[in-house]
């Protein structure tokens, strides 16, 4: 960054007031320091190599500040008060959870030979409902015109569900927000294990929300681990959800890797072997036209942001990618998760306007599903939470917008139907009969011994469930909490059928 140049966030805000001299701009930033318009002093920050010039990176001097690199140019920004930048997960979090940076990275190992790689899309061979691809990923399924295509919104939430966020999440799905067919809006929860309240997870599933798997431990570096580690993390998480939240295995068909670091071909082989329908872990760089979900029969149609995407063919396995969120001015930066864009100094109306501009890039072009991914962090800032509620009320009033789960969106993609046929579309009706039972009135509050394999001491973890309390805190290799390490033995679905 050239010394004395103000950040993009400061520049945009300064543009709203007529300023004629460099001195007045600097004075403006000094007076309004609370909106985090900052000038970098001292040593200049250089965006790391090997990142295509994009991403969020820790400030070497303080964990309260970080740099967002956009096309190789670093913009300085601060975390909200009380939060610190985590250089692994790349977003602001509590001090006790933040891995203060910068964290050194090593180049990803090359695990593939040039043989047996997926080829480019062949639309003549790739036909719905089992295969979908296009040259650049922007084609509307079924050849529909945009005006005949429903604009789907997918609300997704990562991490644990517990007392800290359960009621907050329920407010997002207000009973007053309905789809055009009169059904309530629904979302998808990618659950991780630690600190999850499984009675609350069961309540979400009973209400018709989709439950999908994150991982048990949310460990760093999983992208470089082997087949057994991925099985333990994802299939173990699916077993925990079945046993302690009463969600059937057949209902858990989606997965998401931690920190948007897909596990190369290994993770996708696990998903294929164990009967998953889709993954949602692959990030897409900022594109003018967003990308539709696609099957992994062929090579992915865009740059791989993480560098750990699958390179082989996994026929019939869907990828629901993370299109980057941004507006034309890049105010707020660009981000895969919405809570990673720098919007915390906005009021609710400004958040609404930002989301509307981001959304319109989909709505006014190819109507690719607008995925809105969140961590709990978003809801810790009132203006962001209120801005989201305003946006959802606005979107729900559009008669061609549907707020659906990821699986509902994929069901439509496999058999596209025009807007005028959707009010009676079976897959989007709200009379589903095979929902999990309602949670119990008095869940078991289990105080469980837990020893993390990475530490030399035990502590007590608390877990609520409508099922019986296990003997130990469920963990990798012991998803049932039997207290017998390594008890789990998972057999791939394709072997069970033989």
pLDDT at 115 over 70: no
pLDDT at 34 over 60: no
Determine the average pLDDT of the residues in 193-200.
98
The pTM for the full model equals 0.80
pLDDT at 249 over 50: yes
What was the pLDDT predicted at 4? 39
Burial code of 147-166, b = ≥16 C-beta within 10 A, e = fewer? ebbbbbbbbbbbbbbbeebe
pLDDT tens digits along 350-409:
999 999 999 999 999 999 999 999 999 999 999 999 999 999 999 999 999 999 999 999
- Residue 247 structure tokens: 């969600």
Determine the average pLDDT of the residues in 342-357.
94
Peptide bond into 102 cis (omega under 30): yes
pLDDT tens digits along 273-324:
999 999 999 999 999 999 999 999 999 999 998 999 999 999 999 999 999 9
What was the pLDDT predicted at 312? 97
Residue 180 pLDDT level (bands cut at 50, 70, 90): very high
DSSP reduced 3-state for 414: helix
Residues contacting residue 254 through CB under 8 Å, at least 6 positions apart: 188, 190, 210, 212, 213, 276, 277, 278, 279, 280, 320, 406, 407
Distances in Å between the Cα of 334 and the Cα atoms of 79, 90, 238, 338, 423 are: 16, 13, 32, 9, 35
Looking at 320-457, list the stretches that DSSP marks H as alpha helix, in order from N- to C-terminal side: 348-363, 382-396, 406-414
What was the pLDDT predicted at 408? 98
pLDDT tens digits along 237-247:
999 999 999 99
The secondary structure of residue 216, as a DSSP letter, is S
What was the pLDDT predicted at 12? 34
Task: For residues 15 and 452, give the distance between their C-alpha atoms in angstroms, rounded to a whole number.
Answer: 52
Task: For residues 44 and 47, give the distance between their C-alpha atoms in angstroms, rounded to a whole number.
Answer: 10
> To 5 degrees, how large is the angle CA 11–CA 14–CA 19?
120
- In the sheet with 65-70, reading across from the earlier edge strand, the strands are 55-58, 65-70, 73-78
pLDDT tens digits along 82-98:
777 877 767 677 676 67
Q: In this predicted structure, which of 39-53, 67-81, 237-251, 428-442 has the lowest mean pLDDT?
A: 39-53
pLDDT at 68 over 70: yes
**Domains by residue range for the chain, with CATH:** 8-94 (2.170.140), 141-428 (3.20.20.370)
């Amino acid at each position: 960054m050239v010394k004395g140049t103000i950040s993009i966030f400061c520049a945009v805000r300064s543009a709203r007031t007529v300023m004629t001299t460099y001195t007045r701009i600097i004075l403006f930033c000094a007076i309004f320091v609370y909106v985090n318009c900052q000038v970098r002093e001292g040593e200049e920050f250089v965006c790391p190599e090997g990142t295509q010039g994009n991403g969020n990176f820790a400030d070497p001097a303080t964990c309260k500040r970080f740099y967002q690199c956009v096309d190789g140019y670093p913009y300085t920004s601060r975390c909200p008060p009380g939060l610190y930048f985590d250089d692994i997960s790349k977003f602001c979090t509590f001090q006790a959870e933040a891995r203060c940076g910068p964290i050194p990275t090593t180049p990803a190992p090359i695990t593939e030979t040039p043989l047996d790689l997926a080829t480019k899309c062949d639309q003549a061979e790739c036909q719905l409902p089992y295969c979908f691809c296009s040259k650049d990923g922007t084609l509307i399924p079924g050849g529909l015109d945009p005006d005949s295509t429903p604009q789907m919104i997918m609300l997704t939430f990562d991490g644990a569900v517990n007392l800290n966020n359960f009621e907050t999440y329920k407010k997002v799905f207000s009973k007053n927000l309905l789809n055009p067919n009169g059904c309530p809006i629904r979302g998808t929860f990618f659950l991780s294990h630690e600190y999850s309240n499984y009675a609350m997870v069961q309540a979400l599933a009973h209400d018709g929300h989709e439950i999908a798997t994150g991982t048990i431990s949310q460990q760093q570096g999983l992208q470089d681990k082997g087949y057994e580690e991925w099985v333990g993390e994802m299939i173990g998480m699916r077993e925990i959800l079945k046993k302690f939240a009463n969600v059937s295995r057949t209902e858990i068909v989606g997965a998401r890797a931690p920190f948007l670091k897909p596990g190369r071909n290994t993770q996708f082989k696990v998903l294929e072997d164990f009967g998953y329908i889709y993954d949602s872990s692959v990030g897409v760089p900022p594109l003018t036209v967003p990308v539709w979900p696609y099957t992994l029969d062929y090579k992915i149609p865009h740059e791989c942001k993480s560098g750990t995407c699958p390179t082989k063919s996994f026929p019939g396995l869907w990828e629901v990618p993370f299109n980057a969120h941004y507006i034309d001015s890049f105010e707020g930066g660009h981000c895969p998760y919405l809570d990673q864009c720098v919007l915390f100094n906005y009021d609710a109306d400004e958040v609404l306007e930002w989301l509307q501009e981001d959304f319109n890039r989909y709505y006014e072009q190819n109507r690719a599903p607008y995925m809105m991914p969140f961590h709990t962090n978003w809801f810790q800032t009132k203006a962001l939470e209120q801005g989201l509620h305003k946006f959802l009320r606005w979107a729900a009033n559009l008669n061609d917008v549907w707020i659906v789960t990821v699986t509902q969106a994929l069901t439509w993609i496999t058999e596209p139907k025009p807007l005028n046929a959707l009010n009676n579309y079976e897959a989007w009706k709200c009379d589903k009969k095979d929902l999990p039972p309602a949670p119990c009135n008095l869940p078991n509050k289990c105080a469980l011994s837990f020893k993390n394999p990475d530490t030399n001491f035990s502590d007590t973890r608390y877990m609520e469930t409508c099922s019986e309390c296990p003997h130990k805190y469920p963990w990798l290799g012991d998803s049932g909490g039997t207290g017998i390490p390594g008890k789990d033995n998972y057999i791939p679905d394709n072997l069970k059928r033989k």
